[in-house]
Amino acid sequence: MHTDTIAAIATALSNAGIGIIRVSGPEAISVVDSVFCNKFGRRILSEKSSHTVSHGYIVEPGSGSDWKKSILDEVMVVLMKAPHSYTMEDTVEINCHGGVLLLQKVLQLVLRSGARLAQPGEFTKRAFLNGRMDLSQAEAVMDVIHSQSEMSLSSSMEQLTGRLAAVIRNIREQILYELAFIESALDDPEHISLDGYEEKLYEKCNIFLDRIEKLIDSAEDGRLIREGIRTVILGRPNAGKSSLLNAFLGEERAIVTQVPGTTRDILQETVSFRGITLHMVDTAGIRRTEDVVEQIGVDKARQYAEKADLILFVIDGSELPDEREREIISLIEHKQVIAIINKSDLPVIVSDEEIKRLFSDKKDLKIVRISASEGIGLEQLERQIEELFFSGVIKENREAVITNIRHREALENAHKSLLLVRQSIESHMPEDFYSIDLMASYTSLGTIVGEQVEDDLVEEIFSKFCMGK
């Protein structure tokens, strides 16, 4: 239970139409009442019902009958009484005009009246500690704020509304049932028999493992949803790589000429479409060159290709592939690749079959024909990227998607513990051994929702939040 009252600016520190100062804690109402009055100079906030909005003025504390001389701003004040607030404490939000200096002056008045400055993430931390949300939901708050695509926002909102927590709690409840059964049987063997229980528990472990494995398998997709797809555009010089980047951006961001080797350095841009974010890298054309500067660009292209999630391999459709294409293919054998036959607005002499022969080890290679300069075929390319990574599975078929590294590590630890349970059953170990590893799995899963978590970890998680949230 918190005994102090905290305050912070909850909106971005930049000049805007509106700025909000949030105050939360047992003295929130009296603190704001000391600096707020209505148009008649009355301190009215303590008389108001929860979830009401009051119009008035921010004035110096103790200004009395001379309050009009100390008006700092005309504001709207929102009152939310415990437990029906974000923090489950009395909470007041002061909606000021959005000047940075003005917001800071109002905050200083609030702090002088008895509140203290909130730490980063402290409002959400209180919401967690007061039981309004679990730890996975609290972490989703920041994911929502930092979402850069529709898919990332949708995934974060699902976690915020408790979808992941519901899955984890369901698995934990079933594990707890098995723990309770074993302990009861060991305490009262005359009335509770463990005959045949090994086979039943083995099957249960398989079910738990299967569900956890599906969650772990979703983590890579979750990373792509949260962070975006690291996409590198490769190809021989003058194949149309920079034109493709410009077509995605809808502007002339990269210099395009007919001279091979125009792009000498790495150009990075972020593109969003169909709810997906691509962090695109336009590279120098890969070829042998005596130009020192261009060679540095080629070396960088190779380095970025090694770290890429997706390679867009641009091929000039008006020229037959040669050793330059084969050299590039040798760099990307184990990558997700979409082969793009460019310049479809010109006479094209490159067939899909020729490209497939170059990629002899990729039987399911996706090939798209486009004209980057004319913007033809981009929609088909976008569909191919979406299908290659997600295929609609995330939206429709999964219980939840893991987007947090901490959650993945907890699931992997739970998975290892359940494998040990299964090994103990196969070795016909005493039932006590089952309990030890079942409890370890139960505990690991509990760290995801915050039911089995150390204070230091809680502090670390919320320290990454922004001020006022």
What does the alpha-carbon distance between residue 249 and residue 236 come to, in Å, rounded to a whole number? Answer: 21
CATH number of the CATH domain containing 455: 1.20.120.430
**What whole-number distance in Å separates Cα of residue 410 and Cα of residue 445?**
6
**What is the pairing mode between strands 116-117 and 36-37?**
unpaired
**Residue 373 and residue 422 in one domain:** no
174 lies in the same domain as 89 = no
Do residues 237 and 334 both lie within one domain? yes
Locate 68 and state its tokens: 């009009």
Nearest to 144 by CA among 225, 230, 24, 229: 225
Residue 75 included in any domain:
yes
> CATH no. for residue 51?
3.30.1360.120
- CA–CA gap between residue 449 and residue 135 (Å, rounded): 5
Beta bridge partners of 376: 371
Amino acid residing at 146: H
| 243 shares a domain with 376 | yes
Instruction: Please tell me whether residues 408 and 370 are part of one structural domain.
Output: no
Distance from C-alpha of 16 to C-alpha of 269, rounded to nearest angstrom: 28
143 near 157, Cβ under 8 Å?
no
Burial class (CB in 10 A: 0-12, 13-18, 19+), 293: exposed
**Residue 388 lies inside a defined structural domain of this protein:** no
Is there a domain that residue 135 lies in?
A: no
The answer to whether the beta carbons of residues 159 and 137 sit under 8 Å apart is: yes
Picking from 85, 118, 151, the residue at the C-terminal end of a domain is: 118
Nearest to 254 by CA among 314, 204, 212, 303: 314
List Cβ<8 Å contacts ≥24 apart for 175-184. Answer: 175/208, 175/438, 175/441, 175/442, 175/445, 176/442, 178/204, 178/434, 178/438, 179/435, 179/438, 179/439, 179/442, 182/431, 182/434, 182/435, 182/438, 183/435
10 Å CB burial of residue 392 (0-12, 13-18, 19+) is exposed
DSSP 38: -
CA–CA distance, 202 with 199 (Å, rounded to integer): 5
Same domain, 217 and 240: no
Please check whether residues 369 and 240 belong to one and the same domain.
yes
Which region holds residue 238: left if phi is over 0, alpha if psi is between -120 and 50, else beta? left
Query: Which residue from 255, 364, 351, 234 is spatially nearest to 304, judged by alpha carbons?
Result: 234
Residue ranges of the alpha helices (H) in 71-120? 100-112
**Residues 207 and 263 both lie in one domain:** no
Burial of 412: CB neighbours in 10 Å, binned 0-12, 13-18, 19+: middle
CATH number, domain containing residue 262 = 3.40.50.300
Q: Is residue 332 part of a domain?
A: yes
Going residue by residue through the chain (469 aa), what tens digit of pLDDT does each one get?
Answer: 567 999 999 998 888 889 999 999 999 999 999 999 999 888 889 899 999 999 999 998 877 777 888 899 999 999 999 999 999 999 999 999 988 999 999 999 999 999 999 999 999 999 999 999 989 888 888 888 777 777 777 777 888 888 899 999 999 999 999 999 898 888 888 788 888 889 999 999 999 999 999 999 888 778 887 888 898 888 888 788 888 888 888 766 544 444 444 444 578 888 888 778 888 888 766 655 555 555 666 677 778 888 888 999 888 888 888 777 788 888 887 888 898 888 887 888 888 888 888 887 777 888 899 888 888 888 998 888 888 877 544 444 456 788 888 999 999 999 999 999 999 999 989 888 899 999 999 999 999 998 877 787 788 888 877 777 7
Report pLDDT for 375.
82
Q: Assign 410 to helix, strand or coil.
A: helix
Same domain, 201 and 243: no
Q: Within a domain: residue 307?
A: yes
User: Residue 258 and residue 245: Cα distance in Å, rounded?
Assistant: 16
> Reading across the β-sheet that carries 276-282, which strands appear in turn?
267-273, 276-282, 229-235, 310-316, 336-342, 366-369
Which of 69, 88, 118 delimits the end of a domain? 118
d(CA 41, CA 67): 7
Q: Are residues 110 and 157 in the same domain?
A: no
Q: Classify residue 125: in a domain, yes or no.
A: no
Residue 316's contacts (CB-CB under 8 Å, 6 or more residues apart) are 235, 236, 238, 239, 240, 342, 343, 350
Which residue is associated with the tokens 């790495």? Answer: 266
In a shared domain, residues 247 and 361: yes
Amino acid code (one letter) for 449? V
Asked whether residue 392 is assigned to any structural domain, the reply reads: no
Looking at residue 257, its pLDDT comes to 42
Domain identity same for 105 and 182? no
State both tokens at 252.
């002339």
* Structural domain span for residue 156: 140-223+404-463
Q: 350, 382, 414 — which closes off a domain?
A: 382
In order of 23, 72, 202, the CA distances from 92 in angstroms are 5, 18, 53
- Domains in the chain: how many in total? 3
Do 182 and 435 touch, CB atoms closer than 8 A?
Answer: yes
- Return the H-helix or E-strand segment holding 271: strand 267-273
CA angle, corner 27, sides to 24 and 29, nearest 5?
A: 75
399 inside domain: no
pTM of the model: 0.74
